[in-house]
A and B are shown apart, each in its own frame.
Chain A
Amino acid sequence: MPDETMPDNTSGRYPGYDVLAKRNGPSWNDKTRAVIDRRLAIDPEDHRIFDDAAWRTLKAVCDRIVPQPPKRAAPIPVAALLDRRLQEDRRDGHRDVRLPPIAEAWRRGLAALDAECRRAHDRPFHDLGPDQQDALLRAMQEGRLDDPAWEGMPSRLFFASRLLPDILEAYYSHPTAWNEIGFGGPASPRGYVRMGFDRRDPWEASEAKPGREDVAWEENRRVR
């Protein structure tokens, strides 16, 4: 099996699959290349919407919601992707009346989370251990947080309508996440040919079946 010098997708369900290997092939059009190149160029530390305190909280929250393999050489810059979305003010087109606009909801939600931590643990969120962090996130998910810093915004709603979907949107917009789940990724103009059960085009991810991991590895290295 692969050694340390291999890319970080050597294990897992789709060993060796790299959707970016298709970048210059017939599955990507120019527009897609431009869009993904721009996304991959985002500096993981770039934050213009969140101040430094909120940024540390946000990064810690992302690490709990979408934990990444510790050995991943280039982790998905989830927080920076979210900051970029807010910079560009990309909204949803619908908003529960109990929530303020997206950037304000995030600012307030992260500040409230920190306030809750300081009250309960006398420390900011990013300084807590994973179990304590998870307990707080679960309390938010269940709507049990009500520090005045929430300013009337229901913590359960913030979790369900902002925190969770926005972080997932950022994470799964990244090719590394597509590798992890074996998604074919961009597919224009080539598209796909084999449609039925257990049918795979040679340019799709090959799933490692127990005992046959190296077959998948070989097939995935040939994806173009």
Chain B
Amino acid sequence: MSGDRMFDDPMPDDPMEVPRATNGRAPDVFREGGWVPMREHSENEAVDFAIVGTGAGGGTLACKLAEAGFSVVAFDAGPYWRPLEDFASDETEQRKLFWTEDRLCDGDDPLKLGDNNSGRSVGGSTVHYAMVSLRFRPEWFQSRSKLGYGADWPIDWREMWRYYQEVERTLQISGPLSYPWGPKRPRYPRRPHELNAAALVLAKGAEALGIDWAPTPIATLSSPHGKAPPCVYRGFCTSGCSTNAKQSVLNTWLPRALAAGAEIRDLAMVGRIETDRAGLVTGVHYHRDGQWRFQRARNVVVAGYAIETPRLLLNSATDRFPDGLANSSGLVGSNLMVQLNQAVWGSMAEEVRSYKAPPSLALTEHWNYADDGKDFFGGYCYMSQGPLPIVWARTLAGSRGLWGEALMRQMERYNHQVGLKMVGECLPQERNRVTLADETDRYGLPVARVTYSYCDNDKRMMRHALGFMGQALEAAGATDLWEERDDTCHLNGTARMGSDPATSVVDADCRSWDIPNLWICDGSVFPTVGGVNPSLTIQAIACRTADRIQALAGRGAL
């Protein structure tokens, strides 16, 4: 585009108040004040796909469907950021990336989403994710038949392997030359990053205990790519990347989606999916610019994160679907899974300064692939850490009950602290679920109630991981160890895929069993979560779904 300077707008605007993607243009995420052209669609003519949510699931799918020639409008409740001008290096300010409206938490172990809260931005949670990009262990796609727990996915791992590769190429993952675990995989597109001291501690500990470790495959550039520069190791990744080195949905799939003719509507909160008398969806009601509007669509895809997705389906109940859409199984909202995010922390004599560089530059998946001696089902990996001051103070105070002088003394050791943190597989349980609360949000829509309790298996895994990480940290030379026992991350489940309409919400193609033109494409469809961070798998599923939709359309089966 040579002429797009013409569109540039010198006026500062507030992307949290006024939608940016309007009048035939959307923000150019690579230039301050820049714009790119955007095709617009009429509300009165049905588009092929209305997609709710532009995160890992929805944003990826919007791109792939638009590139396949479908007409697409993707809605996001959040703002359309230009990282270079909108992102400060500041934990507090950058909470503007989060979904801050209350969700009510209960159960035996009420969730504290804390700084692992999901996003409300064009690009979804990937705008502030930590970029760790891991594949599932192949057996996890059939954990029920092969490993004896959880539920089987209706998808073969070999098919997923191809889609993983597509996502890794798109995100230009930097990773090790050869990966120590699982079946052979192609080389990562870019060389690994230099390890920071926090990552070196993980490596030392793993070597001392005789297990493999690796530089983390990670979605931040180790050399320039297109309009994005390499990572400068500023360490604010989970507050949003102000340089664009981070490869998020915002600066990878979405620019492609726009170029292929997709429309993105920012600050557009979908409140309800409309259904007709035939029991098909006809479009979405959404709130934008101070009023409720309606977009007609031949298909609707829900991709709002594992909390907001079931919330929208439940909020769209009608006389015909009194329990919410796609819910004949009664499973919409249930089988919510978090991942265990416990950690062991300690102190090094050397300066570590773990605020430098992406937080998790080294990891071990040893306990995802080794099964001997486990007294629990499932697996976990663990990674090096780099908490910024607010997160660190809250962790220290929350785990150890410290305040006053005792806390201030410990905080002074900030630059020497070091930690190992797990991402662990929780089992699906029907009692863990998202339902609707009595409280409503600013649009008058009931908010989500999130009920969570660990099961015994979760607790056994936690104990195993804490014990092992403690040994590893000690072997690496850390002293004054202590455990952070109550953190969780990464919500998934709540609209699981499967091969039986009685026990799942969508089929392998993310199509709802009950309503053939209603689809769900985000972390909600996971039957199990595995012991790795989910975003690569969510994007791989979205790529697969796009291919399947194309195939179905090709034979007139949409």
Binding site for B on A (CB under 8 A): 12-13, 27-32, 34-36, 39, 64-67, 90-97, 101, 134, 137, 141, 160-161, 164-165, 168-169, 171-173, 177-178, 180-193, 195-200, 204-205, 207
How far is A157 from B93 in the complex, measured between Cα atoms in Å?
26
- Nearest Cβ on chain B to A47's Cβ, whole angstroms: 19
> What is the chain B residue whose CB lies nearest that of A27?
B89
Q: Find out whether the CB atom of A94 lies under 8 angstroms from the CB atom of B92.
A: no
Central interface residue in A27, A97, A141, by most chain B CB within 10 Å: A97
Using A30-B85, A197-B197 as known contacts, say yes or no to A96 and B90 having CB atoms under 8 A apart.
no
Q: Find out whether the CB atom of A92 lies under 8 angstroms from the CB atom of B89.
A: no
Using A172-B389, A192-B357 as known contacts, say yes or no to A160 and B102 having CB atoms under 8 A apart.
no
What string of 1s and 0s marks CB contacts (under 8 Å) between B89-110 and chain A? 1111101001111111110001
B114 surroundings in chain A (CB, below 8 A): 92, 94
Q: Find out whether the CB atom of A36 lies under 8 angstroms from the CB atom of B90.
A: yes
Using A35-B93, A165-B397, A190-B232 as known contacts, say yes or no to A96 and B105 having CB atoms under 8 A apart.
yes
Q: Find out whether the CB atom of A95 lies under 8 angstroms from the CB atom of B105.
A: yes
A28 surroundings in chain B (CB, below 8 A): 89
> Which residues B392-417 have CB closer than 8 A to chain A?
392-394, 397-398, 401, 403-405, 407-408, 411-412, 414-415
Chain B: residues with Cβ within 8 Å of the partner, total of: 68
Q: Find out whether the CB atom of A32 lies under 8 angstroms from the CB atom of B412.
A: no
Using A96-B105, A192-B232 as known contacts, say yes or no to A183 and B389 having CB atoms under 8 A apart.
yes
> What is the chain B residue whose CB lies nearest that of A191?
B232
Main SS at interface, chain B: loop
Q: Find out whether the CB atom of B89 lies under 8 angstroms from the CB atom of A187.
A: yes
- Nearest Cβ on chain B to A168's Cβ, whole angstroms: 4
Q: Find out whether the CB atom of A168 lies under 8 angstroms from the CB atom of B353.
A: no
Using A29-B89, A169-B390 as known contacts, say yes or no to A195 and B117 having CB atoms under 8 A apart.
no
B450 surroundings in chain A (CB, below 8 A): 94
Tell yes or no: B86 within 8 A of A by CB.
yes
Binding site for A on B (CB under 8 A): 84-93, 95, 98-106, 110-114, 117-118, 194-197, 200, 231-236, 242-243, 348, 350-353, 355-357, 388-390, 392-394, 397-398, 401, 403-405, 407-408, 411-412, 414-415, 449-450
Q: Find out whether the CB atom of B106 lies under 8 angstroms from the CB atom of A97.
A: yes
Using A187-B236, A189-B242, A189-B243 as known contacts, say yes or no to A196 and B408 having CB atoms under 8 A apart.
no
- Nearest Cβ on chain B to A10's Cβ, whole angstroms: 15
Q: Find out whether the CB atom of A184 lies under 8 angstroms from the CB atom of B352.
A: no
> What is the chain A residue whose CB lies nearest that of B450?
A94
Please pick, from B89, B90, B353, B408, the residue contacting A200 in the complex, using a CB distance under 8 A: B353
